[in-house]
Amino acid sequence: MAHLELKGLSVQFGGLRAVDGLDLALEHGELRCLLGPNGAGKSTTLDLICGKTEPTGGQIIFDGKDITHLQEFKRARSGIGRKFQTPAIFRELSVIENLELARSHKPGVLASLTVFRTRVQGRLKEVLELVELREHIHTKAGNLSHGQMQWLEIAMLLMQDARLILMDEPTAGMTIQETEKTGEIFNSLKGSHTMIVVEHDMGFVRQIAETVTVMDQGSLLAQGSIQEVENDPAVRAAYLGD
């Protein structure tokens, strides 16, 4: 069974069909890059999946359940995490405080304080290793580098046990080194986390993706390996505006 399935998903803003009958299926642990020219409907697709925007048609199935009209906070609770372009971190708090806060916002974890503490410590260590922030736990989040802030936000989603992570242009504004490190983080999350990554940087896409999906004008234009879609005449036309 697919982890996430979109069936004929649509949303209309006034006369504009921003997402128009989109079908998409992601396996558990898969990383899918979502490509397409500006205005193709990529960000709106992520908004529909996380519940920020209400669809006007179609279905969203997550973990076998129809979540098409589920409220945004309930989707977050069920394991859908969204990373925004401006990281949702508390700049005045330290790295560790941000992570603890993220964890305490996960409903249900306070059931047993002892179990909670032991489990959280283990998870914290794992997550800090992954994003290489272990040496910076007492650093104010506002004093981190741009890349580190992005990784902290990813770490916060992991502390909330997000199992489907939606990322919109995560490497925007990053240095080459930060971009590569981000690719390593994503690659190590493969298998345990399902991810949709909207991205323009094709070098980065090559580092992380196996299958890519290309959207244009709200619909699916092409899907396949990077090489397949790069050689697809319809994809070339969409980018060149022919």
Q: Provide the binding-site residues for Mg ion, judged by CB under 5 A.
A: 43
Query: What DSSP letter does each residue of 150-166 carry, written as one string?
Result: HHHHHHHHHHTT-SEEE
- 88 contact choice in ligand ADP, Mg ion, none (CB below 5 to 8 Å, kind-dependent): none
Q: How far is CA 218 from the centre of its chain?
A: 19
139 contact partners, CB below 8 Å, separation of at least 6: 94, 95
Long-range contacts for 84-89 (Cβ within 8 Å, ≥24 apart)? 84/153, 84/168, 85/168, 85/169, 85/172, 87/149, 87/150, 87/152, 87/153, 88/153, 88/156, 89/141, 89/149, 89/152, 89/153, 89/156
Q: Whose Cβ is closer to Mg ion: residue 128's or residue 197's?
A: 197
Closest approach, Cβ 69 to ligand ADP, in A, equals 18
Task: Find the binder of ligand ADP among 42, 82, 103, 181 (CB under 6 A).
Answer: 42
Task: Confirm or reject binding of residue 213 to ligand ADP (CB under 6 A).
Answer: no
Stretch that binds ligand ADP, among 42-50, 133-141, 189-197, 229-237 (CB under 6 A): 42-50
- 73 contact choice in Mg ion, ligand ADP, none (CB below 5 to 8 Å, kind-dependent): none
- 40 contact choice in ligand ADP, Mg ion, none (CB below 5 to 8 Å, kind-dependent): ligand ADP
Stretch that binds ligand ADP, among 13-21, 91-99, 178-186, 226-234 (CB under 6 A): 13-21
Q: Whose Cβ is closer to ligand ADP: residue 115's or residue 234's?
A: 234
Task: Confirm or reject binding of residue 32 to ligand ADP (CB under 6 A).
Answer: no
Query: What DSSP letter does each residue of 218-239 carry, written as one string?
Result: TEEEEEEEHHHHHT-HHHHHHH
Q: Whose Cβ is closer to Mg ion: residue 155's or residue 198's?
A: 198
Which position's Cβ is nearest Mg ion? 43
Task: Confirm or reject binding of residue 44 to ligand ADP (CB under 6 A).
Answer: yes
The neighbouring-strand residues paired with 34 are: 198, 213
The one-letter code for the residue type at 158 is L
Long-range contacts for 117-126 (Cβ within 8 Å, ≥24 apart)? 120/159, 123/158, 123/159, 124/96, 124/99, 124/100, 124/159
Stretch that binds ligand ADP, among 33-41, 63-71, 87-95, 131-139 (CB under 6 A): 33-41
Query: What DSSP letter does each residue of 203-216 carry, written as one string?
Result: HHHHHH-SEEEEEE
Q: Whose Cβ is closer to ligand ADP: residue 60's or residue 152's?
A: 60
Count of residues near ligand ADP by CB under 6 A: 11
Residues in touch with ligand ADP (CB under 6 A): 13, 16, 18, 36, 38-44
